[in-house]
């Protein structure tokens, strides 16, 4: 929601008027110096939308504001031309509406277009979110990152490294929505007030690492050649892609990182296919390159890669993980009920590479139980399990 600066207005005044933490206002208006507001400048108020309202008999600005739990000056801010002493029956004015509901609907086949639309809606209502691109997929889809937080502790979450594990994306997006709702409404999640998390951490989220793979699983082969013919061939002639983990080139993106990649290559398939083919060399795919470049540039304190399924958390790699990893995974296990597993005979994964090169905590969280892709009937249960992990990775 936009308002226009009047003489004497300050960010502190807007914070009090709308009940929004001051830092969220500042972060929603990064291009503006909060100490030198210009009269007429457009200011974004996070957590609000405007709705048209038609004046009825007996309405006054005070009664309209009171009925909506608003200060009447909030109505004047969004209606700068309004004369409060001369309201006309039938006249249309704008009324601020505090957003108290989720914009993200995770309980649907959650493809790339749905995610991008939700990110746009979230950024409109919560302009303190930043959404830079980290790169593009093989088919040219932009891979967005969402940044939220004003602190120094850099934390990273990602989902949908594997196409048929796409449910991780709406799980992550629902948390992002709930986190933003909690911040602007100053309401706790599980008894935890989230503004301290915002002020202490800077959370990076890549909700869909593999957009081509997700769309392939949900919609079948793309129209464009040669990809349509190739993926059907690599899928043994089948147009059922429910078992497809790889990107559109048949490369498993979580077998792409230079962390004993040669061992994974030796044990895995040697040609493109639905799963487990690590490519001809590490970091050959644009999606894995984008994730590697992001990780190098952001210098994360810890990373969590969300996959399905198994209700386990993998937290080690070649005994290179720091002692902090065990402390964290015990808390993740406590709040989710998931089993911590230090390591398995698997290499070249994103968290493996992070642990190896940074010697910092990295985790692969396997959400839910069953056969991929997990059914949406599990969504609520998985989200409640994951929610504790999302929060703990910020407060620990």
User: Annotated catalytic sites, by residue?
Assistant: 347, 366
What Å distances lie between residue 59 and 66, 79, 83, 91, 96, CA to CA?
11, 16, 13, 11, 16
**Residue at token pair 């493809």:** 111
Question: DSSP letters along 130-188, please?
Answer: B--EEEE-TT--EEE-EEE-SSSEEEEEEE-SSGGGTTHHHHHHHHHHHHHHHHHHT--
Three-class secondary structure of residue 4 per DSSP: strand
Name 173's bridge partners.
none
How far is 149 from 393, CA to CA, in rounded Å?
13
Contact indicator for 382, 149 with CB cutoff of 8 Å: no
How far is 332 from 327, CA to CA, in rounded Å?
9
- The number of beta carbons lying within 10 Å of the beta carbon of residue 337 is 11
Supply 97's token pair.
């509406």
Contact indicator for 310, 366 with CB cutoff of 8 Å: yes
What Å distances lie between residue 74 and 152, 312, 319, 326, CA to CA?
34, 49, 57, 49
How far is 331 from 312, CA to CA, in rounded Å?
13
| Cα angle 178, 179, 183; round to 5 | 115
Residues with Cβ within 8 Å of 68's Cβ and at least 6 positions away in sequence, in order, are 95, 96, 97
Q: For the chain, first and last CA: distance in Å?
A: 34
Contact indicator for 6, 14 with CB cutoff of 8 Å: no
Nearest partner of 184 among 131, 122, 132, 130, judged by Cα? 122
């Amino acid at each position: 929601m936009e308002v226009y600066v009047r003489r004497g207005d300050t960010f502190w005044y807007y914070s009090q008027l709308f009940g929004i933490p001051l830092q969220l206002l500042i972060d929603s208006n990064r291009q503006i110096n909060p100490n030198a507001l210009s009269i007429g400048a457009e200011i974004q108020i996070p957590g609000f939308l405007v709705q048209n309202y038609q004046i009825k008999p007996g309405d006054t600005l005070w009664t309209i504001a009171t009925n909506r739990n608003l200060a009447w000056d909030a109505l004047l801010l969004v209606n700068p031309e309004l004369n409060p002493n001369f309201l006309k029956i039938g006249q249309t004015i704008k009324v601020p509406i505090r957003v108290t509901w989720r914009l993200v609907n995770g309980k649907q086949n959650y493809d790339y277009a749905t995610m991008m639309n939700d990110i746009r809606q979230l950024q409109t209502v919560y302009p303190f979110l930043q959404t830079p691109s980290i790169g593009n997929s093989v088919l040219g889809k932009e891979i967005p990152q969402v940044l939220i937080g004003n602190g120094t502790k850099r934390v990273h979450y990602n989902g949908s490294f594997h196409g048929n594990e796409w449910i991780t994306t709406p799980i992550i997006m629902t948390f992002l929505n709930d986190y933003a709702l909690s911040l602007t409404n100053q309401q706790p999640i599980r008894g935890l007030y989230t503004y301290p998390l915002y002020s202490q951490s800077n959370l990076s989220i890549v909700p869909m690492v593999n957009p081509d793979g997700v769309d392939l699983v949900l919609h079948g082969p793309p129209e464009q050649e040669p990809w349509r013919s190739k993926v059907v061939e690599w899928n043994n002639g089948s147009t059922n892609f429910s078992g497809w983990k790889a990107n559109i080139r048949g490369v498993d993106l979580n077998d792409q990182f230079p962390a004993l990649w040669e061992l994974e290559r030796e044990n895995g398939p040697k040609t493109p296919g639905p799963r487990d083919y690590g490519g001809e060399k590490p970091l050959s795919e644009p999606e894995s390159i984008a994730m590697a470049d992001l990780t190098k540039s952001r210098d994360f304190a810890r990373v969590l890669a969300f996959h399905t399924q198994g209700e386990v958390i993998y937290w080690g790699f070649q005994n290179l993980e720091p002692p902090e990893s065990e402390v964290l995974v015990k808390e993740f296990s406590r709040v989710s009920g998931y089993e911590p597993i230090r390591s398995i005979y698997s290499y070249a994964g994103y968290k493996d590479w992070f642990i190896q090169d940074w010697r910092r905590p990295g985790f692969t969280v396997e959400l839910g139980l069953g056969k991929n892709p997990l059914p949406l009937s599990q969504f609520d249960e998985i989200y409640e399990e994951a929610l504790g992990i999302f929060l703990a990775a910020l407060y620990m």
